[in-house]
Amino acid sequence: MLKRLVKKILGKKLLLTYHLSLAKLAAFYYGHPADKLIVIGVTGTNGKTTAVNFVSQYLDHLGQKNGLASTVNFKVAEQQWLNDKKMTMLGRFQTQQLLSKMVKAGCRYAVIETSSQGVEQFRHIGINYDLVIFTNLTPEHIEAHGSFENYRSYKEKLFEHLSDSKQKVLDNKKIKKIIVTNNDDVETERLKKYKVDKFITYSIDSNSDYQAKDINLEDGVNFSVANNKIATNFIGRFNVYNILAALVAVKELGFELKDLAQTKLSGVPGRQEWIDEGQDFKVLVDYAPEPEGLTQLYQTLAKINKNRLIHVIGSCGGGRDKARQPIMGKLAGQNADVVIVTNEDPYDDDIMDIIDNVASGAIEAGKIEDQSLFKIESRSQAIARAIGLAQINDIVLITGKGAEQFICGSNGQMIAHDDRQVAREVLIK
């Protein structure tokens, strides 16, 4: 409510000037810490958080002290904690403070998840990026930005910023400006106009600098790249892209693929996180807040042997792509045996209006209310209902929030909630 009032009072043009000034002031106040770090940015629609964490894990394996900031978590050297701010990119002063802490902790690298909304508010200004990863681009945040073209343009502004930023000299060595991009995504072509020292591509399907080959998804995610075998216990073709993005980025920072291939990657909180309390069915918590990510998740789960798929799903309010609400519901209706529609992050929107919109898509796909479709306002009760319905070899899927620590309600209200914790508490009762 306060943010909307400020926007109304200041107007868009003056508000943007305010954001820009604040970003420059924050960087100045903390002594431009990004100039003392090698900064890796990750942008795109899907896979950003996972790629950020994988880059950090690869650097850890190499003994390279680093920090990170993502939708899910923060890290400064050995210290890690969950993101409880409900923001992908922190405010300008918070971001610069975090970078400053990384410098003081002796970090050489910072990995920053960079969102289109963060760029729109100039939160990237004052961060001198050295390498930026582009994962993919699908329609998201359309209502917030006004159009897909605007959304895309804000993503591109990060690459413009990379191209225009001064080259660093650290330890008497010039740090190259590098773009690492998914060559299977059509938007990669648009990024070629930005002048950088190296433009590096990765892919599965198209020719690129680094192409995944011999892909085997039967028992985890396994593939080879440049004659190096990569073996993980993750699931899903999309994780080939996530691993590739991180692997290639760290390789281009000056390390050897053969050393990186030995890294045992661990999962990211709330991203494909299995909740196991000894039950005879599976419970999976994932994020997948938009249609493309959800579609990929369904494609992955379709290959897993199971009885039924019971899906707890919601959708955001607050001007966050209202049009996708029935689309998400329809996808759930088409792919899950039982759909439970619940609250996610309503902000100032009516909770039941959102639930009804999502449910309408599930009904269109053939789900019948009170039989294969249930509407439950309380998210905790929805999770409990799903687990209560589960039988041997079922999968209970909980999406939309991942490891987020709050539900965002009206008037700025932040209600403590963690899907994973709720699921565990229900399972052990």
Q: Is the same domain home to 139 and 187?
A: yes
Q: β-strand 273-274 against 198-203: which pairing, if any?
A: unpaired
How many of the other CB atoms lie within 10 Å of CB of 197? 13
105 within domain boundaries: yes
Alpha helices in 105-237 (DSSP H): 116-120, 142-145, 148-164, 188-191
Q: Is there a single domain that holds both residue 246 and residue 339?
A: no
**Residue 71: inside a domain:** yes
Residues 254 and 296 occupy one common structural domain: no
179 with 299, same domain?
Answer: no
Q: Which amino acid is at 282?
A: K
- Sort residue 214 into left (φ over 0), alpha (ψ -120 to 50) or beta: left
Q: What is the total count of domains within the chain? A: 2
Question: Does any domain span residue 391?
Answer: yes
What 8-state DSSP symbol labels residue 141? S
Which residues on adjacent β-strands are paired with residue 397?
A: 284, 311
> Are residues 172 and 278 located together in one domain of the fold?
no
Per-residue pLDDT, 116: 87
The pLDDT of residue 140 = 59
Query: Whole domain around residue 255: which residue ranges?
Result: 2-260
pLDDT in tens, 316-331: 998 777 889 999 999 9
Task: Mark 59-89 as b/e (b = at least 16 C-beta within 10 Å).
Answer: bebbebebbbbbbbbbbbeeeeeebebebbb
Of 236, 260, 284, the one marking the end of a domain is 260
The helix (run of H) or strand (run of E) holding residue 304 is none
47 with 80, same domain: the answer is yes
Could you give the CA distance from residue 395 to residue 103 in angstroms, rounded to a whole number?
44
Q: Do the domain assignments include residue 265? A: no
C-alpha neighbours within 13 Å on the C-beta side of residue 204: 17
CA 281 remoteness from chain centre = 27
252-261 long-range contacts, CB within 8 A, separation 24+: 252/131, 252/178, 252/180, 252/198, 252/200, 253/38, 253/40, 253/109, 253/131, 255/58, 255/62, 257/225, 257/226, 257/228, 258/228, 259/61, 259/62, 260/58, 260/61, 260/62, 260/228, 261/228, 261/229, 261/230
DSSP state of 269: T
Say what the pTM is: 0.91
| pLDDT attached to residue 429 | 85
Cα dist from 175 to 132, 286, 381, whole Å: 13, 36, 52
Residues 350 and 299 in one domain: yes
For residues 254 and 162, membership in a common domain is answered with yes
* pLDDT tens-digit map of 82-112: 998 888 888 889 999 999 999 999 999 999 9
Domain boundary (234, 260, 286) is at: 260
The per-residue pLDDT for 15 is 77
Chunked into runs of 10 residues, the chain (429 residues) has average pLDDT values of: 53 77 94 98 94 98 97 97 88 95 98 92 93 88 65 91 96 96 96 97 97 94 96 94 98 96 94 97 96 94 96 89 93 98 95 97 98 98 98 98 95 94 96
Tell me the residue ranges of DSSP E strands in 19-149.
38-43, 66-69, 73-76, 79-82, 109-113, 131-134
25 plus 76 within the same structural domain: yes
Domain assignment of residue 373, yes or no: yes
**CATH number for position 318:** 3.90.190.20
Last residue of a domain, one of 238, 260, 282: 260
Burial class (CB in 10 A: 0-12, 13-18, 19+), 334: middle
Strand order in the sheet with 373-376: 273-274, 282-285, 395-398, 309-313, 338-342, 373-376
Please check whether residues 191 and 334 belong to one and the same domain.
Answer: no
- The answer on 345 and 227 residing in a single domain is no
The candidate with the shortest Cα–Cα distance to 358, out of 340, 371, 378, 381, is 340
In a domain, 100, yes or no: yes
CATH number at residue 202: 3.40.1190.10
- CA Rg value for the chain: 21
Residue 171's contacts (CB-CB under 8 Å, 6 or more residues apart) are none
pLDDT of residue 17: 84
**Distance between CA atoms of 282 and 270, rounded to whole angstroms?**
15
Q: Report pLDDT for 150.
A: 83
Are residue 220 and residue 128 in the same domain, yes or no?
Answer: yes
In a domain, residue 96? The reply is: yes
The strand order across the sheet containing 213-216 reads: 213-216, 222-225, 228-231
Residue 344, domain member (yes or no): yes
Buried b (16+ CB within 10 A) or exposed e, 392-417: eebbbbbbbbbbbbbbbbeeeeeeeb
- Give all strands of the β-sheet with 198-203 in edge-to-edge order: 79-82, 73-76, 66-69, 109-113, 38-43, 131-134, 178-182, 198-203, 210-211
147 C-beta neighbours (distance < 10 Å), count: 11
